[in-house]
Amino acid sequence: MFDFPLTLGVFEIFGLISGTIAIALLIKQNIWTWPIGIAYTLASIYIFLSAKLYADLALHIFYLIMSAYGWYFWLKGGSRESSTLGVSRESKRTLFILLFLCGISIYLSGTLLASYTAAELPYWDNTTTILSLLAIWLQSRKKIESWMVWLVVDILAAGIYFYKEIYFYSILYTIYIVMAFMGYFEWHKSYKHEYRNHSHDRP
């Protein structure tokens, strides 16, 4: 149905560069991670449409929405004491509920794609998709657990894209694996610093 030109490789290279920059800025909690991430997302939409990875395609359309939300929330979601949104943790109960819902969603969406579309690797593709929805929601609210979810996504995605011969994105997600560790430790350091400061402020 779609005839994609040889410029697909150019989009992969652009995605590799812009995606890496966006994650580097995310690690540093720099607000520019969101607009650069939007540029990466647009390139990814083109690539996943060509590869018939429809769950990833839908995911990146959602990314556009969440990027706008994250951009806004990072600017406006601070506490009364500070206009800057700080790193925090999600409650264990909330995480358990969200992961349970993710498991159900992976099974149902994977079954639908396997039954009614030409999607390849529907269950694996949907695993990365659904977990990414969770990760970017946690990320938009600066929850430290987002990096642990991203780590799982990155490991699976690197394998999927290598299998699909989308080699630049396989390299990108291999880089993301390393950056997920870096992001977790950086945000954890920031979380501990903010927690100590808030403890000192209490009467």
3-class SS of residue 126: helix
List of residues 6+ apart from 42 with CB closer than 8 A? 64
Q: What is the pLDDT of residue 13?
A: 84
| Spatial separation of the C-alpha atoms in residues 123 and 110, rounded to whole Å | 5
Q: What is the pLDDT of residue 78?
A: 56
| Spatial separation of the C-alpha atoms in residues 107 and 15, rounded to whole Å | 29
Rounded to 5 degrees, φ, ψ at 121 are: 50, 50
pTM of the model: 0.78
CB 156 within 8 A of CB 128: yes
Q: What is the pLDDT of residue 155?
A: 96
Q: Which two tokens stand for residue 103?
A: 């498991």
| Spatial separation of the C-alpha atoms in residues 145 and 161, rounded to whole Å | 24
In tens digits, the chain (203 residues) has pLDDT values of 444 444 567 888 888 889 889 999 999 999 899 999 999 998 888 888 887 777 678 778 888 888 888 888 888 765 544 456 788 999 999 999 999 999 999 999 889 888 887 777 888 888 988 998 899 999 988 999 999 999 999 999 999 989 888 888 788 889 889 999 999 999 999 888 776 655 545 44
List of residues 6+ apart from 202 with CB closer than 8 A? none
Q: What is the pLDDT of residue 8?
A: 60
Q: What is the pLDDT of residue 117?
A: 79
Q: What is the pLDDT of residue 80?
A: 47
CB 160 within 8 A of CB 127: no
List of residues 6+ apart from 149 with CB closer than 8 A? 131, 132, 134, 135, 138
Q: What is the pLDDT of residue 114?
A: 85
